[in-house]
Structure 1
Amino acid sequence: MQNITEFVHWFRSAAPYINGFRGKTFVVAFGGEVVSDGQFVGLAHDINLLSSLGVRLVLVHGARPQVEAQMKERGAEMRYVQGMRVTDELALASVKEAVGIVRVEIEALLSLGLANTPMAGSDIRVAAGNFVTAKPIGVLDGVDLQHTGEVRRIHAEAIQKRLEDGEIVLLSPIGYSPTGEIFNLTLEDVAVHTAAALSADKLVFLMDADGVTGAKNKLISTLTVAEAQKLTERKRKTQDDLTYYLPAAVQACRLGVKRAHLISRYRDGALLAELFTRDGVGTLITPTPLETIRAATIDDVGGILNLIEPLEREGTLVRRSRELLEMEVDRFLVLESDGMIMGCVALYPFPEEKAAEMACLAVQPEFRRRGFGDRLLEAAQSLARKKRMKELFVLTTRAEHWFEERGFVETAPEALPRRKQVLYNFQRRSKVLRKVI
């Protein structure tokens, strides 16, 4: 029963994401290790689910381990310059063979429709083709990389047409030149330029680590592009795949991709957990801070009510009807995270006394230890100063210690502005705290 209750709670909390993702374009990129290590079986189930929810998907696969295996069989020498493979004729033959094998295996797994499996009833159609035009990198450090190339153009219109037809587009790390040459590309290069060309809503990289880690190896759940760029400089000394994927995520966001995610390929269901839970399981990189505080609009009334109604039921806040909230919504500031209202606060100025009441401060319970309350308090104080208020006061029945720790001092109801004194509820007996700002 507990598991059922938890599932229902999770499913309900995922509803805003399900509604928000319908019709959006996601690019999911993964190395050849995901296929060779058997992890694509679970990933195929999650891709099927996303597709059934109306997400437009482009998959970009790598083939490094498969290429290396083919080269060993052929006795070919593996040479690298600045981390890039020198692709001579023998290496190119290995690349074509390996990419073909990986692509066929991916298509086969996405075509499964067996009963009693997560793929039952699925009707996934996979589109592949020459969607990538490439050009040679040329000579680096005096070495000709030959058939190693980089993306010149992504044929976005052709890809969009396939997506509009309900197909999943599968891209390989090879590109073609107008002269008929074939080039070996990196999956990061293909993924970044594809996401940018499509103006994708999300670019997801599956990697060895859980995401980006900071002090004491703790996972960093969100980073701005600026923060990620600083970490990129530090990570260049390491040898893991983060050295490739983190700069690629930064580049994608700078090229207009709205969100980039770094998640573990080892964690079953990581793609779903990252996309459909508030905290995710990896690292999210965004062009601007994920949480923003802004003036509330009429469209935010429902989100504010969801926040304050539980606090009203327990008596922490005075009840406000929807009609009253709609009339006073211009008094509210909201803290928005990833399109959802996570906190709110209201400010009621009393210009005659140069004082303002801060009211209805509320934060989603699971986010109360993240400093959201402090950020809303600071925003309310800043707004009060802009309105030339000299003093901020609050009425509270349960949070007097929280406010005292932030510089508020308890005072008598008689110290309230006159118009507020008339409205003071002596049965509720709220404590009055004030702060000079």
Structure 2
Amino acid sequence: MINTARALFAADGCREEGAARLIAFAEDAALDDRARVQAARALIEVDEYRAEGAARLIDLAEDAALDDWVRVQAVHDLAMADGHHNDGAARLIAFAEDAALNVLARVEAAQELVRVHGYREDAVTRLIAFADDAALEARARVRAADILARVRGRQSDGALRLIAFAEDATLEARARVQAAQDLVWSRERRDDGAAQLACLADETALDEHCRVLAAEALAKVVGYQDEGFVRLIAFADDAALDAEVRVQAAWALSWVGGHQNDGDARLIAFADDAALDVRARVQAARHLTILGYQEGAARLTALAEDTTLSGAARICAAQALTSIDKYWKAAADRLSALADDPSLDDLDRVQAAQNLTTLAEGDDTAQHTTFADNLVVGDGTRVRAADTVAAAGYQEDGADWLTKFAEDPALDDQARVQAIRALQAFRDRR
């Protein structure tokens, strides 16, 4: 819709019609917020409609009901328009300093301020404040330092902070790995970044998943690929590590140049290893399907049909199978069969039915209605099923069941409280 209006706007003799549509789109609260910003931006780019576009960008920026990032984007577009640099910059500064906004959106506002002519130092001051504020979440501080490292004349200020973050054992592991990765992108500091990634991959006290992330990032750095590869092999082959970590390492190997066979062979072995946690086996099989192996889908099918496994494990396998177009229908049939299987735990059956309602095709809310009306399954299971009905687009049906359960003295007290809370949450969503 937006692109059609823009095309009309650009066409000779159709500008007024296109402008009218863009104005309507920018003001339509039913549209996606980013589309509304896009419509206003299209207006502000043309001299004769600049005031119209600016007014609507300001309206969007001041609408506290919108996503913080959308508001920042609206102000950035305003600041980039001729005649509105100062107004837009002032609003970006206000956003950067507004503690009520998401901190990452505030950092984003400071980044956008860098691009406004004449406001670079204002942006730098705020980026430094973000990076140095120990009260902020680590990923926001790392993001601020990364932006600072890309500002001309301030690269060292940002890089030194990134090195400090990567070495700071008090920060969350993912933030430390991200800081090292950001360093790698800086040509002048690539070796520093690679050294930090190697240290993080070797740090035994670090979260295992993050150690693999560090090794994977190292394997992508020119001149350091082999160092990353050796570490990924070691992680994948270490039986003392969590199975999902080993699968993660094998998956990373499959994407490292020249080592796909090493990763693929390990994923196949993991998918077939009955001694591993089933979720890790499902994950390995799912990865194989992404890599183009039909064997991956065959293994997921086998896991979904394996009656020696728990209901939760079989549902996990069937759900993974639904993401493969060719097997979508077969996977949906398996989820339906699991939902109907009285030998499974009540909650597992409801989970299978819930997974069905999230699929792109079909309508399996009837499965949940069946559970809600089933006097044999547990009270908590019936309440959960009713709540799912309410959340799946059948609000009135679900609400009726929840009300009935909340008022039913025959149900156990815990289930009635659960129903009351679900009913209140449903009403809050309306």
Q: TM-score range with shorter-chain normalisation?
A: under 0.3
RCO higher in 1 or 2 (8 Å CA, sep ≥ 6)?
Answer: 1
Structure number with the higher helix fraction is 2
Structure number with the higher strand fraction is 1
